[in-house]
Amino acid sequence: MLLTFPIPGRVAALINGAQIQAMKKTDARVQAISEAISIIRMIKLFAWEGKIAAQVTAKREEELVYIKRRQLLGLVNMNLNYSLPVFTMISSFTAYTVIMKEELTASKIFSAIAIFDLVREVLHLTFYVVPRVISAKVSLDRLNTFLNETDLLDRYARPKLDDPVHVLPPTGDFDVIGFRNATFTWRTGELSGSGACTPRRNFQLRIEGDMFFEKGKLNLIVGPTGAGKTSLLMALLGEMHFKQEGIDSFFNLPRDQGVAYCAQEPWVQNATIKENILFGTTYDEARYKKVLFQCALEHDMTLFNAGDATEVGEKGLTLSGGQKARVSLARALYSSAQILILDDILSALDVHTSRTIVDACLSGDLINGRTVLLVTHNLALTSPIADYVVVMGSNGRIISRGTVLDVIMADPYLRAEVAEINREVKQAEKIIDPGEELPEGVDKPSGKLIVKEETVEGRVGWSAFSFFFGSFGGPAYWTIVVTTFAVSEICHTIQVWWLGYWARQYESHLPSEVNAAFYLSWYTGLLVMGVTLYNIGFITFLYGSIRGSRLIHARLVKSTLGTTLHWLDSTPTGRIVSRFTQDIRAVDGPVASMLCELMEVGVNMVGKVCGIVIFSPIFFFPSVLAAAFGRYIGNIYMAAQLSIKREMSNAKSPVYSYFGAAVAGLVSIRAFGAEDAFKIESRKRIDIYTRPARTFYNLNRWICLRIDVLGAFFGAGLASYLVYGRHSDASTTGFSLTLATSFTGMLLWVVRIGNEFEVEANSLERIKGYVEIEQEPKPVPSGNPPAYWPTSGSIRVEGLSARYTADGPNVLHDVTFEIKSGERVGVVGRTGAGKSSLSLALLRMIPTTGKVYYDDIETSKLNLDALRNNVTIIPQQPGLMSGTLRQNLDPFGEHDDAVLNSCLRTAGLFSLQEDDDEDKIGLDSSVASGGTNFSLGQRQIIALARAIVRRSKVYILDEATASVDYKTDSAIQEVIASEFNDITLIIIAHRLQTIMSSDKILVLDAGKVVEFDSPAALLKKDGMFKALVDGSSDRDVLYGLIKGYEVPGPSTVSKSIAS
């Protein structure tokens, strides 16, 4: 036995390697599905469900390879557990009888068996625990790597003893806000100019000389898209790495009076509007109402039945982009922070709302005396009230800084840009929407948005088990598995009986007459047969479990990607991700392994009971009673344990969701100094999970104690009967007691493993619930369009009505219009008019009635993928996936690099970069999850390039260039005019000037079409559109766009600046 001890160590090392690889592959799969869920709206709009599912499935296959390897190594473990003691026992008996010529007796045989069984139990326990210890070690190693090797921010890293760098200013300058001779990078160490590196990570921000912002004043930061405006704010907040450029190099942001931050992509918590604004501070009614007024949120509160008690949902899904921006601004304004850092908060707002924010908020009494750093592209609105401006170039350098008048008058480009913006502001001042539009799918909610996760009561239903068993294989499969396990157990039982039979031969024959080799060969043959059959059964089960894991995961992916928009809006991401993490992990591990062990132990127990009853029939009834009592105890255990397990499962999702939301808003949390509050809340949620988890493990101890006592009574009763009652021979008594001793252990394992299997099967219940969620219509052969379709972009809508849920109110009512191929149509309307609903209805994202014809084919008869593959939406908030820029433009490798580069050039990305820029963005540039390493403007340009790659006949633009500077926006509009000249365009707009050059205008009101004609024709009628234009302060300019009048140029720039 000592010689065999190194073998388990080697197997453990192999299991460790397989576990490490399996967890890496699991990470890759979870990251892929998490990303897919985060951009699932875009996936559905682009009809990428099947292709994304294929990508996730490919990662799943890689994961299953190592799961299977780990399971096979587990089989080696079990073989060692079974074989080492038995072969050691065979060697001992061989040496004792053949070499030493000693005779065997029943007492020696069954004493040896008892001792070797104890050894085997210890080995079994060791091999059972070792893989779990290895798994725990791998997890701890990964945590250790993360904690020790993660690139920490400078203010969280431990300073080196020989590092003389100080980021604090010299004595006397502790209250300044700004930089002196400072350089910042996104990562530590030497920078690489490789195009494959992340652009943001290669970016360097350089400030030469002094650049201090004006305290108590409004400071503007302007520059072209991708110049590094956001990076400047991040550097000041300490989110970038500081590089010492000299003895006087420093940066400073005094935090003693508080800092508030509004990100370019507004971050809101999954809480009510009021809770988002208060952000943990004390409620002051007068201040709160004033904040709502100055942030133009009073009107928005009337759109919700619950007002400010309305839950905003995950990522603020119930709010429009402008509403999220203003809620984020209100949070900063309500705080007592004396320094407000606002990153392009006006880009998500229409001009009317932007002017309201500038006049009421940035010029209001709540801002007075506070230092404001505002990144903006809208100089026309903000320059009159600003005191200081910083102009940035495209290479992360400061071009100029100073007072607004001095900087703008000294820069011809800025003068021209201010004049152009002034003109656009006048053209756009009269907007169609007096307020931000609530997504029409949210029909004035009563406050509660997220549906509470259902908790099933009682035992796990048979449907969940059937769902699991059916994925393994059919009746033939289960027959093979059960038969091989059963025959293997019969061989094992006969082995024990054979030893007793062999011992009896010494009682009736001389030792020389007993052929030890004969009995040893039969004993060895039974052993080999039992092990072989067990291996056949286990390997068959293993391949079935891998097949089941594959099918269950595939069905879960397909169901999640194929569900409806309504279900996605009402289900937190954390719940969905938990199905793909903890529940799939349970299917791959505990559920499958416990089912295998339950069958194995159950067959063993039945075999041992049969053996006992054959030689002691009277113990049939005690065996039944013991089993019945075990079941009774198990039922009590299950009643408590199942409820506890369900509570654990439900309590884990909020932990994930909260952590994910905190990571998404990490910069805002650190800027506000709210880390401690979020840590406390996170610990509370972990405590809520830990309470049932601790009870779960304590209940295991409860049942073990009772089953052990039951087994002890059963074994003692059998021993008393055999010794004092029946007076059986030694071999029969030894055989029965050996089986009885094993039976008590088997009874414990059957009850415990059976109950734990049902507890873990809660994951099957949860997965099955998601497999059966509501689905969009599945593709059918008759839904495939002709190969030549579409030949044009014509759209005809007849009596279209739409709603967001089957039992919800209509958001579109009997909409009828026709768009000819190649026409440019502007869609306008007041709040709640149904503009966004129309775009979703055209793509059948929501339930509809009526008819929509695309190139003369009714869309309701088309498969969804056929329809959505031929219509492209360019959203305001584009979704990007981690990988390379090439993979984002062409995720499925359908185009060559020449086409992709041409699309990037056409979209205007290359015009934002210098030819000799070492960090120039190219197809091999890395893209972080969500595109967070690019500015929002760059992401919108990438989304435009991706749309050009698709070459659809119909495009829908939803404020697609809101976050780019005006020069880039003008270039993009030229691209749209040139590249999309023969393509049907549907433009959802807030501003009149955006759609005045359209071929037709579609005016919606309360979900109905009130006007549809060319702008010139509508201006000749006394209708809603004419009333809006006539009521505008720039009526003549708007009429000039239609009739060809010259729009006044920037001849009065200096006067307008001076004023």
Domains belonging to the chain, first-starting first, are 2-148+456-771 (1.20.1560.10), 178-428 (3.40.50.300), 777-870+990-1059 (3.40.50.300)
Mean pLDDT for 815-834 is: 83
Cβ contacts of 999 within 8 Å, gap of 6 or more = 823, 824, 825, 1014
Give the model confidence (pLDDT) of 375-429 as tens digits: 987 777 788 888 899 888 877 788 888 887 777 666 655 665 565 555 555 544 4
Q: Is the pLDDT of residue 968 over 90?
A: no
Q: What percent of the chain has pLDDT over 70?
A: 77
Least confident of 220-234, 324-338, 683-697, 724-738: 724-738
Q: What is the pLDDT of residue 966?
A: 58
Q: Is the peptide bond before 790 cis (omega within 30 degrees of 0)?
A: yes
pLDDT of residue 287: 93
Distance CA 819, CA 321 (A): 28
pLDDT of residue 431: 45
Which residues pair with residue 858 across a beta bridge?
Answer: 853
Tell me the three state secondary structure of residue 40: helix
Please determine, for residue 53, whether its predicted confidence score (pLDDT) is greater than 70.
yes
Q: Tell me how long the chain is.
A: 1059
Q: How confident is the model at residue 1056 (pLDDT cuts 50, 70, 90)?
A: very low
165 or 651, which is more confident: 651
∠ CA 736-740-744, nearest 5°, is 175
- pLDDT of 765 > 60? The answer is yes
> Cβ(219)–Cβ(374) under 8 Å?
yes
Note the pLDDT of residue 1044: 43
Highest averaged pLDDT of the listed ranges 135-149, 360-374, 424-438, 796-810: 360-374
Q: How confident is the model at residue 811 (pLDDT cuts 50, 70, 90)?
A: confident
pLDDT given at position 160: 45
- 324 contact partners, CB below 8 Å, separation of at least 6: 266, 268, 312, 316, 348
pLDDT of residue 460: 72
Q: Per-residue confidence at 373, pLDDT binned at 50, 70, 90?
A: very high
Q: What are the φ and ψ backbone dihedral angles of 1003, each rounded to 5 degrees?
A: -105, 120
What confidence score (pLDDT) does residue 2 get? 56
* Cβ atoms of 550 and 766 closer than 8 Å: no
Place of tokens 């979703």: 840
Contact assessment for residue 857 and residue 789, using Cβ atoms and an 8 Å cutoff: yes
Long-range contacts of 300-306 (CB under 8 A, 24+ apart): 300/326, 300/435, 300/436, 300/438, 301/273, 303/435, 303/438, 303/444, 303/831, 303/832, 304/273, 304/438, 304/444, 304/445, 304/447, 305/444, 305/445, 305/446, 305/447, 306/272, 306/445, 306/446, 306/447
pLDDT band at 194 (very low <50, low <70, confident <90, very high): very low
> Per-residue pLDDT for 528 more than 80?
yes
What are the residue ranges of helices labelled H in 908-954?
A: 936-950
The whole model's pTM is what? 0.70
* β-pairing verdict for 954-958 and 871-874: parallel
3 state DSSP class of 883: strand
Q: Which of 1-5, 198-202, 256-260, 428-432 has the lowest mean pLDDT?
A: 428-432
- Residue 986 backbone phi and psi in degrees, to 5: -115, 115
Q: What integer is the mean pLDDT of 22-35? A: 89
CA distance 965 to 413: 13
Q: What does the pLDDT read at residue 168?
A: 56
Q: Which one of 83-97, 426-440, 702-716 scores highest in mean pLDDT?
A: 702-716
Place of tokens 């990251």: 31
Q: What would the DSSP string read from start to end of 572-586?
A: -HHHHHHIIIIIHHH
For residue 644, pLDDT over 80 is answered with yes
Largest CA distance in the chain: 127
pLDDT for res 505: 78
- Nearest CA to 44 among 780, 565, 806, 572? 565
CA–CA dist 356, 478 (Å, integer):
71
Q: How far apart are CA 701 and CA 839, in angstroms?
A: 58
> What confidence score (pLDDT) does residue 1007 get?
86
Q: So what's the pLDDT on residue 59?
A: 93
| CA pair distance 737, 747, nearest whole angstrom | 15
CB-hemisphere CA count at 13 Å for 857?
A: 20
d(Cα 357, Cα 346) in Å, to the nearest integer?
8
What is the token pair recorded at 863? 């498969």
What per-residue confidence (pLDDT) applies to 684?
92
DSSP character at residue 173: -
Interval 51-76 mean pLDDT: 89
User: Given a cut of 50, is residue 718 above it in pLDDT?
Assistant: yes
Whole-angstrom Cα distance, residue 611 to residue 54?
52
Is the torsion defined by CA of 605, 609, 614, 615 positive or negative?
positive
Q: Which two tokens stand for residue 221?
A: 């930061």
Task: Say whether pLDDT at 800 is over 60.
Answer: yes
pLDDT in tens, 562-595: 999 888 877 877 788 888 988 898 899 888 888 8
Distance from C-alpha of 392 to C-alpha of 205, rounded to nearest angstrom = 10
Among the residue ranges 56-60, 173-177, 521-525, 1029-1033, the one predicted with the least confidence is: 1029-1033
Mean pLDDT (whole number) for 813-833 = 84
Quote the tokens at residue 969.
């926006």
189 falls in which pLDDT band (50, 70, 90)? low
Report the distance separating Cα 929 and Cα 656, nearest Å.
17
Residues 619 and 660: beta-carbon distance below 8 Å = no
Average pLDDT rounded to a whole number, residues 312-330: 80
For residue range 904-935, what is the model confidence (pLDDT) as tens digits?
A: 888 777 766 665 555 678 888 888 877 777 77
CA R_g for the chain: 36
Question: Nearest-5° angle of CA 382, CA 385, CA 390?
Answer: 65
In this prediction, residue 630 carries a pLDDT of 76
Could you read off the pLDDT of 255-284 as tens digits, one per residue?
A: 888 999 998 888 888 888 999 999 989 999
The SS3 assignment for 775 reads strand
The residue among 548 and 245 whose pLDDT is bigger is: 548
Angle, in degrees to the nearest 10, between helices 49-94 and 516-561: 170
How far is residue 101's CA from residue 4's CA, in Å, rounded to a whole number?
Answer: 26
Which of 143-147, 937-941, 986-990, 991-995 shows the lowest mean pLDDT across its residues?
991-995
- pLDDT score recorded for residue 156: 58
